[in-house]
Structure 1
Amino acid sequence: MDALTLTRPALAVIAALLASASALAAQDRPEPRPAEDAAAADVPVPAPAPQAFGLAGPFLAARMAVVENDFQAAARFFVQAVAHDPGDRFLQDSALVSLVSAGEIDRAVDLSRRIATDGEPTELSRLIQQAERVHRGDWDGLLADLGTPADTEAEADLLAGMMRGWALLGAGRASDALAEFERLAGSPGVAPMVNYHLALARAHVGDHEGAAALLAEETTGAHLLGFAARAQVLAQLDRRDEAVAMIEAIPGVEAEPQLLTLRDRLKAGQPVSFDVVRTPADGIAQVFLTFAAALASSPDPEPLSLIHARLAAWLSPETAEARLMVAQILQERQQFDLAEPEFDALRRMGQMRPAAELVRIETLTGAGRSEEAGKAALSLTAAYPDLPQAWIALGDVLRRQEKFAQAVPAYDKALNLLKDAPAEARWFPLYARGIALERSQQFDRAEADFLAAIEIRPEDASLLNYLGYSWIDRGKNLDRALALIEQAVALSPDDGYILDSLAWAYFRLGRYDEAVAPMERAILSMSEDPLVNDHLGDIYWKVGRHREAEIQWQRALSLEPTGTDDVDPDRIRAKLDRGLDQVLAEEAAAPAATDASAPAPQAAASN
């Protein structure tokens, strides 16, 4: 569940309002050179690199860092470039973008001051200076900088107006603040977003009735922060039962422990204050967060989403949603080292969000950072020991690390927590535990899990394939096993893994001629898989195509199998040296040996 979910009209309006800001003062930039880095869609095509001595190196290094989303390196090199050419506005704004993105807000503030001192500030440097005034509590200075509505360009009026509303509250002018929000709410397409801030402002000044009425509107308060704010407001009005009922009716609320904790406090009659916004600075942080959410969720996410989220977190470091949005944007851009301090801060604040952590664990795993994924999964199970999804995530991490025996207890815990859950919630952990059990040689338990999962999802191709292959590999239930795999092929006819299983089933059953066609189809989509090439070689050998078999084995070796991918390179060399028949005879004479050629059937189950 998103902290802020904006309506489609609001997204469109915000995108239009920030179009000029996204260009980063493009009106002052020289004509761009041809886009040799057109793939770098996150950044505008740069101005021609000035030819001054000592500038080209930092500029080019900064550009490369931007392409790779390495904000810290980009900040370092752009700052060096600005030192060589202090008056270049494009370099100035690029340095500011990188500094703020890297979380170096104080350095960005210093640079924005120098820009203002040396000449006309850019849009971004002005925004950073305004945030700095908020940080210092200089409300009169901020109001002077923002100007009056008549002085503000129409396209920038929304952001400036919402900041002005909170600044008026900071300056002690509550009536003027509310009037400003009400004026903005009349703009087409943005009323729900502005009314949310109007509700927060009303609650902040003690008008809880007015705040409750606004937050009751679905388009205004139907998001995570809105639900929390409304529940807190209702508590001030002594309407706790209504607040509890509202929380319990939220779809998916069982995955939002913060709301559940708030519900429990309300039920127990414990004190509940309104703290979604504690100060006007928190309110402006929420403005930045609103814009960050809109920019991040647009079809073509804007680089400015991270800048707004960073400013929100800087102004209100205790606002968990701001820290979480920074962390998630950084994670999406593969900047895990920058994201980790934000996740750590959330854990220290007791604001770990299970849904976000689950995505984080999956992303870390996909990025090959399995050790960090494991630590994150362990932290999640420690924080929420009764959350089955946390234990499933831990089991998945361990299974992907091939720690199959260790994964089993994690899935045991998840399934125990899900014992009274609907069957559909149990099929995946049953399937995943079955894989871990099968790979740790606990075949009877694995078979029971696969059969139970198939009862729930009788047409899941990968599940049918896995059980069918497991039986074939152990010479058990051969007819039924082949039927399961054939059913899996019918359900997913182009899946290379399943076609490989079908061909290998025919091979194990001695039906070599029938194995050729599905294995050749499998190789079309899995030509870089050493296991499939090895299998095709074995099948070709058995149908008398020995030269083609040798080519496939050589191909498998050229793909550098390591033994951890179920392919034994020494066994392939033995087949090339002595032929498959001789190798099989030697293995039959030594029954304790492991058949390294047997594949693991599509073990990478994923939910």
Structure 2
Amino acid sequence: MDDVTTTRPKLALLGLLIAGLVLPAFAQDLPQRPEPRPADLAAESQAEAQAETQPGPPMFGLAGPYLAARMATVQNDFRAASRYFARAVAHDPGDQYLQDNALIAMISAGEIARAVKLAGEMEKDDRETELAHLVNRAQLVHQGDWSALLDEEGANATDEGDLLEGMIYAWALLGAGRASDALEEFEKLAGLAGVGPMVNYHLGLARAMVGDYEGAETLLSQDQTATHLLGIIARAQVLAQLDRRADAVALLDGVPGIEAEPQLLMLRERLQAGAPVAFDVVKAPADGIAQVFLTFASALSGSPDPEPLSLIHARLAAWLSPDTGEARLMVAQLLQERQQFDLAEAEFDALRRLGEVRPVAELGRIDALSRADRPNEAERAALSLTAAYPDLPQAWIALGDLLRQQEKFAQAVPAYDKALSLLKDAPAEARWFPLYARGIALERSGHFERAEKDLLAAIEINPEQASLLNYLGYSWIDRNQNLDRALEMIKKAVELSPGDGYILDSLAWAYYRLGRYDEAVAPMEQAIGTMSSDPLVNDHLGDIYWKVGRHREAEIQWRRALSLEPTDSGDVDPDRIRAKLDRGLDTVLAEEEAREGGRPQQPSHADAGTDRAQGD
């Protein structure tokens, strides 16, 4: 989140950002009237009360809250930033810079009522900034005060070259009952360079709202106008009004991954059954303006340097039309990108309250819970998703990944089994990762022969995946099998991912296990350069130093490994390190060999880097 002083997205910027695709390709919910749900209002009120009373360090004067707000801003901690910027504004109520940043933080945190109050005060005191103006216009939309909104926008909105102003103005004309004027304004905007498909989408929605379904279909059928899922739903509903149900069904059947989109499946079922299908993608002009904000949020989030306005526009869209699942989903995803997993989870929960389990949303929610270190909740969510969509392989892969990451390897295997059975007729590219993941789970649960088959099959599909090559190569080295081929695999993995410390560690350890100690030194030192705080890598480097006669340096590395507090349940045994410090590596290896009657114990790290593999 950056400081913002001028926030109106001008046509020059948006013309570059909106090159035809105006909404993200995610599942879409059918919007209802933009009336806030009681649960949403209660949640917002609770959040705002917490923001006002949340304890924090003592702050004196302006500097303290301002510096705390800046630190929270850097960390994307929107709630804390909102709280501290509000305190800063209280100390200097005339500073528009502080006020704008307070608005950014409040809206980003979902504290819309607080933002509306502050923006209203800024307007009343003749200190309205561009962002405050945006919030005040959104409030007029929320209230349905179309006359006041038209006065705010003015008849010259299009002439200014401000696309957002023009779109809101056109929808406001429709809200005021001036349909002909609204359509004329949309047509003017559609003539502007670079934004035709996006404006024509909204013009199509507006024509459908006033009953001109032929005109709507002409617009929505144009290239790049309604190719996103929300546009596809709108077009299918328009075709139904024109009694072209077969065309609508064919349109839906052509959507990739329709089986994971409950709204599309439900719509297709109603079309095929001859049941009534209304046009309700937008029920009121406020829904149209919410989609305008959603369009701009999508465009801004796709810029090379995403700015806080993407989240602001998405938040305003969800506020104006709280039952529009697409807006909720975009908010959740933008929060995830900013590592705000608790706030994201609230939006995913709101999606669930809309009444349907949406696979795209639930997969994102599971990921958010997992990354927020809430594995039990993530696992429950994954189990619920597999129950709701037992034929969705991605749900079973997500469940397997969660179990594997919690080291429940034996439990993860059946989840991957189910996913792979569902993918038996899928393209090979869809199978490599679940094969790889099942191979890890099998190997870690003691079934290496099955694991080896899975890993080899995954490599045949994706021979350029460094972590995959590393895993099988190291596993063979660790078992003293296929040594030459294993070493070549690990060397290739290093070439593919030269900066990966885990893979460099694997290469060094392969040389060590092959007795090529001098060759092991350089890659292990490279690995320690990228992973100096990893106890296993420090332990390995100590063993290699010992074998090349650098005993003093070996002891330093072992002590370093102990200082990093390895546990008995991890890959490094602290008692074994202490034994090496007391008696030397050679003595410890001889004792282990005599005790085990064969190969001496060595810590394994083959899977250390797998959580960074694609799909985790």
- Shorter-chain TM-score category? 0.7 to 0.9
Matches within 5 A, 1:380-459: 380-459=385-464
Per-residue CA deviations over 1:223-277 (Å, capped at 9, x if unaligned) read 1211111111111112122222222223454544432332333233332221110
Q: Of 107, 111, 115, which aligns to 2:118?
A: 111
* Percent of residue pairs identical: 72
- Counterparts of 2:447 and 2:385, CA distance in 1: 28
Per the alignment, in what secondary structure is the counterpart of residue 271 of structure 2? helix
- Counterparts of 1:566 and 1:53, CA distance in 2: 49
- Counterparts of 1:220 and 1:598, CA distance in 2: 54
Bigger shift: 108-117 or 159-168?
108-117
Matched-pair contact (CA < 8 Å) for 1:489–1:499: yes
Question: Could you tell me which residue of structure 2 aligns to residue 261 of structure 1?
Answer: 266
Per the alignment, in what secondary structure is the counterpart of residue 195 of structure 1? helix
Kindly indicate whether residue 564 of structure 2 is the aligned counterpart of residue 559 of structure 1.
yes
Bigger shift: 382-391 or 485-494?
485-494
- Counterparts of 1:602 and 1:337, CA distance in 2: 27
Question: Could you tell me which residue of structure 2 aligns to residue 161 of structure 1?
Answer: 166
Question: Could you tell me which residue of structure 2 aligns to residue 568 of structure 1?
Answer: 573
Question: Could you tell me which residue of structure 2 aligns to residue 35 of structure 1?
Answer: none
C-alpha spacing 1:505/1:91, structure 2 compared with 1 (3 Å): closer
- Counterparts of 1:375 and 1:122, CA distance in 2: 45
Per-residue CA deviations over 1:347-370 (Å, capped at 9, x if unaligned) read 122455434543454455455454
Matched-pair contact (CA < 8 Å) for 2:167–2:186: yes
Give, as a single letter, the amino acid of the residue that structure 1 aligns with 2:196.
A
Question: Could you tell me which residue of structure 2 aligns to residue 303 of structure 1?
Answer: 308
Bigger shift: 216-225 or 77-86?
77-86
Matched-pair contact (CA < 8 Å) for 2:420–2:434: yes
Question: Could you tell me which residue of structure 1 aligns to residue 582 of structure 2?
Answer: 577
Give, as a single letter, the amino acid of the residue that structure 1 aligns with 2:610.
A
Matched-pair contact (CA < 8 Å) for 1:200–1:277: yes
Kindly indicate whether residue 571 of structure 2 is the aligned counterpart of residue 588 of structure 1.
no
Question: Could you tell me which residue of structure 2 aligns to residue 183 of structure 1?
Answer: 188
Kindly indicate whether residue 88 of structure 2 is the aligned counterpart of residue 85 of structure 1.
no
Give, as a single letter, the amino acid of the residue that structure 2 aligns with 1:85.
D
Give, as a single letter, the amino acid of the residue that structure 2 aligns with 1:590.
R
- Counterparts of 2:108 and 2:462, CA distance in 1: 45
Matched-pair contact (CA < 8 Å) for 1:331–1:360: no
Matches within 5 A, 1:531-570: 531-570=536-575
Question: Could you tell me which residue of structure 1 aligns to residue 3 of structure 2?
Answer: none
Give, as a single letter, the amino acid of the residue that structure 2 aligns with 1:533.
N
- Counterparts of 2:144 and 2:499, CA distance in 1: 62
The structural deviation recorded for 1:318 is 0.9
C-alpha spacing 1:455/1:108, structure 2 compared with 1 (3 Å): closer
Matched-pair contact (CA < 8 Å) for 1:435–1:603: no
Matched-pair contact (CA < 8 Å) for 2:107–2:312: yes
Per-residue CA deviations over 1:541-577 (Å, capped at 9, x if unaligned) read 2333323322332232233333454111221111011
Q: Of 191, 213, 225, which aligns to 1:208?
A: 213
C-alpha spacing 1:570/1:238, structure 2 compared with 1 (3 Å): same
Matched-pair contact (CA < 8 Å) for 1:566–1:596: no
Kindly indicate whether residue 102 of structure 2 is the aligned counterpart of residue 95 of structure 1.
yes
Q: Of 377, 382, 387, which aligns to 2:382?
A: 377
The structural deviation recorded for 1:594 is 8.9
Matches within 5 A, 1:11-410: 11-12=14-15, 54-149=61-156, 152=157, 154-155=159-160, 157-362=162-367, 364-366=369-371, 368-410=373-415
- Counterparts of 1:489 and 1:81, CA distance in 2: 51
Kindly indicate whether residue 506 of structure 2 is the aligned counterpart of residue 501 of structure 1.
yes
Matched-pair contact (CA < 8 Å) for 2:17–2:302: no
Question: Could you tell me which residue of structure 2 aligns to residue 28 of structure 1?
Answer: none
Question: Could you tell me which residue of structure 2 aligns to residue 5 of structure 1?
Answer: none
Matched-pair contact (CA < 8 Å) for 2:329–2:347: yes
- Counterparts of 1:501 and 1:63, CA distance in 2: 42
Bigger shift: 360-369 or 254-263?
360-369
The structural deviation recorded for 1:94 is 2.7
Q: Of 602, 605, 608, which aligns to 1:599?
A: 605
- Counterparts of 2:450 and 2:382, CA distance in 1: 25
Q: Of 468, 476, 480, which aligns to 2:473?
A: 468
Matched-pair contact (CA < 8 Å) for 1:536–1:549: yes
Give, as a single letter, the amino acid of the residue that structure 1 aligns with 2:274.
G
Per the alignment, in what secondary structure is the counterpart of residue 106 of structure 1? helix
The structural deviation recorded for 1:345 is 1.2
RMSD value, Cα? 2.9
Per-residue CA deviations over 1:446-499 (Å, capped at 9, x if unaligned) read 122223223333454432332232233233444554454455456556644334
- Counterparts of 1:247 and 1:153, CA distance in 2: 35
Matched-pair contact (CA < 8 Å) for 1:9–1:190: no
Give, as a single letter, the amino acid of the residue that structure 2 aligns with 1:218.
D
The structural deviation recorded for 1:400 is 1.8
C-alpha spacing 1:377/1:126, structure 2 compared with 1 (3 Å): same
Matched-pair contact (CA < 8 Å) for 1:568–1:596: no
Question: TM-score, normalization: structure 2?
Answer: 0.83
- Counterparts of 2:191 and 2:285, CA distance in 1: 22
- Counterparts of 2:400 and 2:258, CA distance in 1: 24
Give, as a single letter, the amino acid of the residue that structure 1 aligns with 2:455.
F
Give, as a single letter, the amino acid of the residue that structure 2 aligns with 1:588.
E
Question: Could you tell me which residue of structure 2 aligns to residue 25 of structure 1?
Answer: none
Give, as a single letter, the amino acid of the residue that structure 2 aligns with 1:333.
R
Per the alignment, in what secondary structure is the counterpart of residue 250 of structure 1? coil
- Counterparts of 1:493 and 1:93, CA distance in 2: 44
Give, as a single letter, the amino acid of the residue that structure 1 aligns with 2:96.
R
Matched-pair contact (CA < 8 Å) for 2:470–2:606: no
Bigger shift: 191-200 or 522-531?
522-531
Q: How many residues end up aligned between the 2 structures?
A: 562
The structural deviation recorded for 1:141 is 2.0
Matched-pair contact (CA < 8 Å) for 1:11–1:298: no
Question: TM-score, normalization: structure 1?
Answer: 0.85
Give, as a single letter, the amino acid of the residue that structure 1 aligns with 2:186.
F
List runs of 5+ in structure 2 lacking aligned partners: 1-10, 19-58
Per the alignment, in what secondary structure is the counterpart of residue 225 of structure 2? helix
